[in-house]
Every structure is written in C-alpha cells, then in structure tokens.
C-alpha cells in the first residue's frame, strides 16, 4: 500500500479505536472491518484511493453535505491522499454507522 494511502487508513483505524476502544476487528468483506454491537465500518486501499465503508448511504449523507466534492458511493467515501482528513466529520460518519446501523434508527 502506498504511504499516502496507508496514512489515511491508519488515521481512520485509530479514529475508530479512539471512539470505540472495545471494537472487534476482523477481516470481513476482504478488508479490515471494525465492529461494535451490530454496527460496523471498514477501510480499504483501492487502486487510486482509500475508502471508508458503511452499510448504507444514510450513514454518509451528512458528510456528503459538508464535503460535496469528495467522491462517494452507496455507503462509501473515497479519499484521495491530497489534503487534510476532516477527522471530526469522519467521526460523525463512524458514530452514525456504528450506533445506528439500521435505516431510520
């Protein structure tokens, strides 16, 4: 994994563990996945970016509003190495995905 993307994945992993120190880490979906209760987030290294995955788009809707130029997909945020990571905004995504895994919760 290139150093720039490793920096992103490690920062996200540390953020998850700071929010949920007792999170269980496994290798679901062929990527590191952090679970707490029924909720989860996963991180991945892709060809041109790193990604933060959740199980549905409603977890990232707030982030999309704050960062409309950041590429996203269904429940996924793609992060290019350039620039600072908005860790507070990622914390919101992570909390939403972990604390409210079901739509409408």
> Which segment of 19-28, 33-42, 70-79, 81-90 scores lowest on mean pLDDT?
81-90
Question: Would 28 be classed as within a structural domain?
Answer: yes
The verdict on pTM exceeding 0.85 is: yes
Residue 104 domain-assigned (yes or no)? no
Query: Residue 32 maps to which CATH number?
Result: 3.90.1150.200
CA atoms within 13 A on the CB side of 8: 25
Range of the domain at 61: 3-99
Residue 38: strand, helix, or coil:
coil
- The three-point CA angle 28-31-33 to 5° equals 60
Q: Nearest Cα to 13, choosing from 61, 66, 51, 69?
A: 51
Query: How would you list the strands of the sheet with 72-73, edge to edge?
Result: 24-26, 33-36, 39-45, 50-53, 76-79, 72-73
Q: Residue 80: inside a domain, yes or no?
A: yes
- Residues 52, 45: Cα–Cα separation, whole Å: 9
The residue assigned the tokens 């999309």 is 64
Whether 105 is covered by a domain: the verdict is: no
**Confidence check: pLDDT of 104 > 60:** no
Question: Furthest-apart CA pair in the chain: how many Å?
Answer: 38
- The number of folded domains in the chain is 1
Q: For 36-81, what is each residue's pLDDT tens digit?
A: 999 999 998 888 888 999 988 999 999 999 999 999 998 999 987 7
């Amino acid at each position: 994994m290139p150093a720039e993307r490793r920096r992103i994945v490690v920062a996200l992993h540390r953020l998850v563990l700071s929010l949920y120190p007792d999170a269980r880490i496994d290798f679901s979906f062929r990527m590191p996945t952090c679970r707490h209760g029924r909720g989860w987030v996963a991180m991945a290294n892709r060809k041109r970016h790193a990604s933060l995955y959740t199980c549905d788009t409603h977890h990232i809707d707030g982030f999309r509003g704050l960062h409309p130029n950041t590429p996203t997909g269904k429940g996924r945020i793609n992060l290019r190495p350039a620039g600072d990571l908005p860790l507070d905004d990622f914390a919101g995504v992570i909390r939403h995905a972990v604390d409210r895994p079901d739509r409408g919760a």
